[in-house]
Amino acid sequence: MNVAFKQSVGPPQSLDAIAEALLLPTGVDGVYARTALFEQAATGLTTLISRYREPDTEVLRLPPVMSRRQLQQSGYLESFPHLLGCVSCVAGDEAQIRASVARCQAGDDWTGALAVADLVLSPAACYPVYPLVSSRGQLPAAGLKFDVACDCFRREPSQLLDRLQSFRMREYVCVGTPEQVADFRARWMKRAAAIAGQLGLACRIEPASDPFFGRGGKLLAMSQIEQALKFELVVLLHSAGEPTACVSLNDHRDHFGAAWNLRTAAGAVAHSGCVAFGIDRLALALFASHGVELARWPTRVRQALRV
């Protein structure tokens, strides 16, 4: 699977050179205002990805925040505490809140008045799916499939345009037997490559691991690769250097099934898997590969995106 890049276009353009036409700074690393031009590509991508949706897939569009308790129950803090963003709000009675505002106006630190709320910023689109499935009882024999999307947050500030703190993720998710999940992922492996081909992106699919926290995390990452639990479709975005993961294909085994007591029709602990498309990275990949003038993109790419 670890093959050479399928080269279909010339060398990628410098991302910095095209940044001004695409992503404008907002004063925080990894958080950008997206231009109309960038959004044209992003909209084209979501439409293209929708055309690949399998029948019997439930569509849900999710908000950028989710229940903190649910994310805890899914085990996020054990694996990725360093990436989590928690919502906190100014707490207290009217007098206390006024005092906090006065401290802010005086140029003093007012953030001590913040109290953690029951919300976190969603770190991936699929997390709310598992508690939802759990609330519905045993799975049907065919399992369940979902099409989900949301704005995601991960605390990984960087000046690289392809490493954002706030970015959009589109996912297809399967919950069912181990075989159903394996088949689902195999189908999406082919489709992800087909989508990248339609987009004229020089890419390859390779084994990958998640950025687990700490020293113990390195072992988890190695075991993830050994068990072939994660693959990524990577694209050359920087003229030199590492390729960028634009799509991931994940087999969670029974991680969420055990955390949420999800049961197959036969009563076994359910497995799950997902394919996650990074919309902003894919859009960036298009501009890096084909330039900032949409009208000059290859005709077949524009047709695929309907732009």
User: Which of residues 139 and 305 has its CB atom nearest to ligand AMP in the complex?
Assistant: 305
Whichever of 42 and 149 has its CB closer to Zn ion, that residue is 149
Tell me if 192 contacts Zn ion by CB under 5 A.
Answer: no
Q: Check residue 196 for interaction with Zn ion (CB under 5 A).
A: no
Cα 81 versus chain centre, distance: 17
The smaller minimum CB distance to Zn ion, of residues 126 and 285, is found at: 126
- Cα 270 to Cα 267: distance, rounded to the nearest angstrom: 8
156 contacts which partner out of Zn ion, ligand AMP, none, CB within 5 to 8 A by kind?
A: ligand AMP
Site for Zn ion in 274-293 (CB under 5 A): 274, 276
Per the rule left: phi > 0, alpha: psi between -120 and 50, beta: everything else, 165 is alpha
Please measure the distance between the N-terminal and C-terminal CA atoms of the chain and give it in whole angstroms: 32
CB of 171 to Zn ion, least distance (A): 5
**Residue (30 or 200) nearer to ligand AMP, CB:** 30
CB 142 within 8 A of CB 56: yes
Angle 271-273-278 from CA coordinates, rounded to 5°: 160
Q: For residue 101, how many other CB atoms are within 10 A of its CB? A: 13
Strand, coil or helix: 111: helix
Beta carbon of residue 39, minimum distance to Zn ion (angstroms, whole number) = 24
CB of 151 to ligand AMP, least distance (A): 11
CA dist 192 and 212 (Å) reads: 25
Q: Between 100 and 248, whose beta carbon lies closer to ligand AMP? A: 248
Task: Return the number of the residue (85 or 113) whose C-beta is nearest ligand AMP.
Answer: 85
Task: Between 68 and 281, name the residue whose CB sits nearer to ligand AMP.
Answer: 281
Q: Which of 126, 149, 161, 237 binds Zn ion (CB under 5 A)?
A: 126
Which residues are bridge partners to 244 per DSSP? 235
Per CB under 5 A, 133 contacts Zn ion: no
Q: Which of 129, 115, 151 is nearest to 71 (CA)?
A: 129
Alpha-carbon span 294 to 191, nearest angstrom: 24
Candidates 197, 186, 198, 201; CA nearest to 281 is 201
Minimum CB separation of residue 208 from ligand AMP in Å reads: 8
| Partner interacting with residue 206 (select from Zn ion, ligand AMP, none; CB below 5-8 Å by kind) | none
CB under 8 A, 24+ apart: contacts of 184-188 = 184/145, 184/273, 185/249, 185/250, 185/251, 185/273, 185/275, 187/54, 188/249, 188/275
By CB under 6 A, name the binding residues for ligand AMP.
124, 154, 156, 163-164, 167, 169, 232, 245-248, 276, 278, 280-281
CB 42 within 8 A of CB 244: no
126 binds, among ligand AMP, Zn ion, none (CB under 5 to 8 A by kind): Zn ion
Shortest distance (Å) from residue 7 CB to ligand AMP: 21
Q: Which is nearer to Zn ion, 124 or 175 (CB)?
A: 124
User: Which one of Zn ion, ligand AMP, none interacts with residue 274, CB within 5 to 8 A by kind?
Assistant: Zn ion
133 binds, among ligand AMP, Zn ion, none (CB under 5 to 8 A by kind): none
Residues that bind Zn ion (CB under 5 A): 124, 126, 171, 274, 276
